[in-house]
């Protein structure tokens, strides 16, 4: 069965709001995404992301992201996990707010 991004939101578990809060608390309400140089983003996390897109809603597959990183990741997700492995060849040129002086 192929993943379909357009229906992903409808498959969230009933306890999603509580789960989401737990992820944010676990990650300290900070974005856990890493920059290419290995530094952690640490912008305030507003979104909870599925590391592997799909129906895996375990804590291990969830992480806190800032809205910028979440939007950037979502933009690259073509509905398949394979699309995630190709993002390096198509990086957006927009800067992360934290990198602007
Ligand atoms: Zn971030």
| 1-16 exposure pattern, b = at least 16 Cβ within 10 A, e = fewer | eebeeeebeeeeeeee
**Separation of CA 1 and ligand 1 centre (Å):** 31
Ligand 1 center from residue 90 Cα (angstroms): 18
24-62 pLDDT per residue, tens: 999 999 999 999 999 999 999 999 999 999 889 999 999
The pTM assigned to this predicted structure is 0.65
Cα-to-centroid distance, 40 and ligand 1 (Å) = 8
Please give the torsion angle defined by the CA atoms of residues 5, 6, 10 and 11, in that order, rounded to the nearest 10 degrees.
Answer: -20
């Amino acid at each position: 069965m192929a993943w379909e991004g357009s229906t992903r939101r409808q498959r969230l578990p009933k306890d999603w709001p509580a789960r989401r809060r737990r992820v944010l608390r676990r990650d300290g309400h900070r974005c856990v995404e890493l920059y290419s140089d290995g530094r952690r983003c640490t912008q305030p996390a507003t979104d909870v992301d599925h590391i592997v897109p799909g129906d895996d809603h375990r804590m291990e597959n969830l992480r806190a992201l800032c809205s910028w990183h979440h939007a950037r990741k979502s933009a690259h997700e073509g509905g398949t996990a394979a699309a995630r492995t190709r993002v390096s060849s198509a990086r957006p040129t927009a800067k992360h707010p934290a990198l602007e002086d």
